[in-house]
Structure formats: structure tokens, C-alpha cells
Amino acid sequence: MARVVVVDYGMGNLRSVYRALLAAGADADAVAVSADPEAVRAAERVVLPGVGAMGDCMAELERLGLRAAVREAAASKPFLGVCLGMQALLGRSDESGGVAGLGIVPGRAVRFPDGERDAAGRPLKVPHMGWSRVAQRCSHPLWAGIADGEWFYFVHSYYALADDARAVAGEAEHGRRFAAALAAGPCFAVQFHPEKSQAAGLRLYRNFLDWDGRWRD
């Protein structure tokens, strides 16, 4: 049985996430990239990565029989959502004409509006692509050893609006403040790509490997 399963539904930068987990200290024989729902159920901890459109994401999770297994994992064991994998945890996304998510974190994903500008008046592009600082909004085990305001790498056009502000574990800015991290029970999710975020990203993966899933007991 793999200790860590990276969910393969055909839309994530799977090899990069796998290599980052190894670089963060996981043994190669303890990490599996799998599309098998039973492997997800049996794993001690689960990573849901993702790159692409929300409609395709949810359709593939359904087609592969992964939807229920991923929901169960996000509610019961240490679970990390990355980029699109974070948005999939929401109740709904405006992307793809509107699509239901997994409903782990009440809220929805909305698109950055065109025409916004930064504090200096310079136009901002959509997608938001590049390095941004993340302000930590709670004390969480996955932030251990990571400075408040650390830089992380983002690539996204949609961002999360959580119904409950207490679910927001980190914020960044791109014309407006937005949720860069969400936390709900044993589930933690980030809009940025830890595997592309150098030392801080590897520290977050290391924290995830050490995390027992408890928060706000």
C-alpha cells in the first residue's frame, strides 16, 4: 500500500508533484501516482493536483470513479489540493459554464476580471502567472517553517471565494486579495504550485508528509 497517493485523472503535472514529494523526504516506494479509487481510499494521505479547466476536471473524476473516493479522502485523512485541485474542493465554479465541485469547502471559483491594475496603476493580465507573496491567515501545521509573506508561484485565471472566511488559510493579491490557501479539517489546499516554488514549496510538501491531519482540535 502506498503511503501517499497522487491522484491521476489526466490533468495534473503529476511527475513534478511526485518528484517534489521525493525531494521533500518521501521514500520512492511510499508514493504512488494512481487513478484507482481503491488506492486513494487505502492511502494514508492524498494529493489532488490539477491543471486545466474545472469542467474537464470534474468530468474526469466522475468518469474514472474517483469522485467519491476523493471526497472521502478529503474528509478523513491528510489531504492536499493543488491549484485546480483546490478549486475542485469548492461547491461550484463559474468556469466551463458553471459546474459543481466536490463541496468540501463551501464557496465557488470565479474569474479574475479583465482590466484590473496593480497599486502602481499598471495593467494586470489574466491569467495571474508568476510569483506572489502569500499572507498567512491562520496558524496551521503546513505553514511551519515558512515565513509569513513568502513568495509562491501561481498560474490561474479563477480564484476561490469561500463562504466562511475562517476557511481561508492564506491570501495573495492580483488586483484584489484572494484566497491562496484553504483549510478544512484534514484538508489543506493551495492555489499556487508548491512544486514550482523552490525551498518554500518543498517545505510545505515536507510539512504535509509529517502532518497528522489535526487542526483546530
Residues recognised as catalytic: 83, 193, 195
Q: Rounded to whole angstroms, how far apart are CA atoms 39 and 113?
A: 39
What letter does residue 126 receive in the DSSP assignment?
Answer: S
Strand segments (E) across 24-147:
31-34, 45-48, 79-82, 90-93, 99-100, 105-111, 128-136
- Which pairing describes strands 90-93 and 79-82: parallel, antiparallel, or unpaired? unpaired
CB 157 within 8 A of CB 111: yes
